[in-house]
Amino acid sequence: MMGPNVFIVTANHRFDRIDIPMCEQGNSESKQTIIEDDIWIGRQVIFTSGRTVKRGSIIAAGTVLTKDFPEYSIIGGNPAKLIRSRQGTIEKDN
């Protein structure tokens, strides 16, 4: 599931040299974003380049995803941080 206005960035502006204006330094290498199965992405989430969203994860609305997290994570914030794991919420039948 994916909310509206989600941005998946594949590259960024280079800024490593101070003798050349940033707008003339070009872009960094493009990196692929991988979104695994059973993911819920809230509205207006921004993915920085090269992110992998693991199976069963939830990304809160407005999150700026700057790093990767384990499977079944609930993630939120700017920058993104782990809110909690979903793995402890599985109910067992008696």
Q: Give the active site residues.
A: 13
Burial class (CB in 10 A: 0-12, 13-18, 19+), 83: middle
Strands (E), the chain: 7-8, 34-35, 40-41, 46-47, 52-53, 58-59, 64-65, 73-76, 81-85
Torsion of CA 28, 29, 35, 40, to 10 degrees: 10
